[in-house]
Chain A
Amino acid sequence: MKTAKRNFARTLDLAHGRVEMSHGAGGRAMAQLIAELFAAAFDNPYLATGNDGALLAHAQGRLVMSCDSHVVSPLFFAGGDIGCLSVHGTINDVAMMGATPMYLAASFILEEGFPLADLRRIVESMANAARTAGVPIVTGDTKVVEQGKGDGVFITTTGVGVARDGITLSGDKAQPGDAILLSGTIGDHGMAVLSQRENLTLDPPIVSDTAALHGLVEVLLDSGATLRVLRDPTRGGLAATLNEIAKQSGVGMMLHESAIAVNEPVEAACEFLGLDPLYVANEGKLVAICQRQDAQRLLEAMRGHPLARRASIIGEIVEDAHCFVQMTTRMGGRRIVDWLAGEQLPRIC
């Protein structure tokens, strides 16, 4: 990490200081926060220019843009934090369009009084995630709201990438007969966060699966399989994502419960809290829908990648005017996997 230029009388007290209103006011204090914290951590020539915008090179091909806000609570959890989550999430949304993510923008809404030590932890986590993914954070914004008006920090990230030539992935492209693949276990992220919030001790703790998936996506695009849709099942879980796609494409789905993998602690935590893993958020998994004859090939390509060792074929697209997502249960019966109603209230009864 490059040391920030000493233009300021005193360096920021990142160990014990707190966010103040002046940090968002556009004056010297804000410039210092940006220089000594954000720019120092994200460390790239775009930010070093000190401009409000980043001048980017020509892109050859169709642009893809995506945007995501992050309000997760708690801010820090096993396997990640709001920082790396915000980087991975937007990289993944761009990648799901069949595009190579190239640049990120990050905007912060900070609450007055938020500890700078925590902010540094978050920013360094973002920097690390961006560096590892090879996608720089080239521009951003900071605002501060009065104490009590914001829950610590909210982060919004925007990503830009270039779609691979000849590839158009879209939720309305699924066709009856297509295969549905899932890249791994479900429910890890949501239960990592929730078990922490609800004081369920897990030993070892459930770890969020937050990860950048653009490398895995490249493997899928290179596999030669005819892909229709890629999507990552985040809020609302696998159920939400599949229902969205079914509606967009005007098709139904038939899933097989025994093919959907859930880690035992996640299953157990769901039992304790009365939740269904199908509705729990994931941050490092994807759903891929492809032509039926390419399913095996795609599965092997997935399993060859470290983030998708437990990939499986979980079902198929069927004709259905009602666009139901149905599932054969492990008992051999059938049920719908419906849209989430409201917020998932844990069952007591």
Chain B
Amino acid sequence: MKYIDEFRDGALAGNIAANIAREAAAASGYRLMEFCGGHTHAISRYGIADLLPANVRMIHGPGCPVCVLPIGRLDQAIRLVRQHGVILCTYADAMRVPCSDNLTLMRAKAGGADVRMVYSTQDALHIARANPQRQVVFFALGFETTTPPTAVAVRQARLERLQNFSILCNHVLTPAAMHAILSIEGGAGLDGFVGPAHVSTVIGSRPYAPFSTDYGKPVVIAGFEPLDVMQAILMLVRQINDGRAQVENEFTRAVTPEGNPKAQALVAEVFSLRESFEWRGLGTVAGSALRLRSEFAEFDAEARFGVEYVAVADHKACECGAILRGEKRPQDCRIFGTACTPDTPVGSCMVSSEGACAAHYSYGRFREAAR
């Protein structure tokens, strides 16, 4: 597969690994956060930790939109299907996240609720057109990569005057989350960021500038494949060795400084900033999420059905918060691998395959066992 296989070449991996080992010898430790859940998954699935020297440590960031959704947001979705009888269209990842009353969307479905998995917002529109007598709600979650497809769907719904389509808006923003991470002790625990791949194709590389200028942290935007991630790690090691803090781009084949202006314009047309939004693990973060503009308010499911957000505390033993902030590792959580497993997840980090806990459990837990 072109532009995939070449970026998974084992021999080249060995070469980059050798480069990293050589250049990382310059300092005692490098603590690098890969923000994006997709990168967390790639690192675990390909066993990249085995290719890094012991003093280069990857810390998993909160870039997993399912993982950072507070329980209360999922409860809203559950209320929509169970109390308002809507057809809820959702991306697959959200189906198994545990919410209140020991429910998940999957369990609600088993109990008769009309929850349907879709791959695209186009599928949701299709379902709305095919079921004019039913209300259809699209569970809109995701970072900046996934927001433009929602914007397209909402505009289309308005154009077609669809009366039975609305969205439950949970779109969140990457730079705001990175600020929140770095505001913990001024980012003392981190030496640099591997920036998200596909978020950056949309927003460009410019929005990351404050992290290098204001916080003095290097950022290297990395492509999605394992070789991209490794090269980005090498570039970060180099910056740290040089005492530089710049925004660099490894994913030049898809990321430009300005990103995708058309997609950005579409999003700006449909959405505006929420004043604040609660994140699992990060608490309330200002200017970190989106809501529909007043011109599109008719498509807001929260308003249409009157489902309000009610904050719900995480399970007492769940360490998803600390893990999402990069303060603890999955294996530091008391219930990791025992009460909390991918089959019986307690927290969201275990549900999504991009979650740090699921990734570690599914691909990497042999490392603790070996010790």
Contact = CB atoms under 8 A, between A and B. Distances in A.
B66 interface: yes
A349 B37 contact: yes
Contacts of B95: 345
B62 interface: no
A341 B343 contact: yes
Nearest to B361: A338
Interface string A113-154: 000000000000000000000000000000000000000000
Nearest to B95: A345
Given A271-B1, A331-B10, A341-B341, A349 B365 contact: no
A68 interface: no
Given A333-B48, A333-B50, A349 B66 contact: yes
Interface residues of B, number: 46
Interface string B30-45: 0000000110010011
A334 B91 CA distance: 29
**SS class, residues of chain A in contact with chain B:** loop
Contacts of B362: 336, 338, 341
A135 to B, nearest CB: 37
A203 interface: no
Interface in B329-371: 341-343, 352-354, 358, 361-366, 369
B98 interface: no
B343 A342 contact: yes
Q: Which interface residue of B1, B10, B38, B48 has the most chain A CB atoms within 10 A?
A: B10
A322 B45 CA distance: 20
Contacts of B146: 348
B306 to A, nearest CB: 29
Main SS class of interface, B: helix
B369 A342 contact: no
Contacts of A264: 1
Given A330-B10, A331-B8, A332-B51, A347 B93 contact: yes
B154 interface: no
B243 interface: no
A328 B146 CA distance: 33
Interface in A154-185: none
Contact of A333 (B51, B65, B354): B51
Contacts of A241: none
Contacts of B44: 335
A332 B13 contact: yes
Nearest to B50: A333
Interface string B52-90: 000000000000111000000000000000000000000
B366 A336 contact: yes
A324 interface: yes
B366 A322 contact: yes
Contact of B13 (A331, A338, A348): A331
A267 B13 CA distance: 21
B49 interface: yes
For A267, A273, A335, the residue with the greatest tally of chain B CB atoms inside 10 Å of its CB is A335
B109 to A, nearest CB: 12
B142 interface: yes
A329 interface: yes
Interface string B279-323: 000000000000000000000000000000000000000000000
20 contacts: A267-B1, A271-B4, A329-B47, A332-B50, A333-B13, A333-B48, A334-B50, A335-B364, A336-B363, A338-B361, A342-B106, A345-B96, A346-B119, A347-B353, A348-B91, A349-B38, A349-B41, A349-B64, A349-B66, A349-B352
Interface of A: 198, 258, 264, 267-268, 271, 273-274, 322, 324, 326, 328-336, 338, 341-342, 345-349
Given A332-B14, A336-B366, A338-B362, 5 more contacts: A336-B365, A341-B362, A345-B117, A347-B92, A347-B354
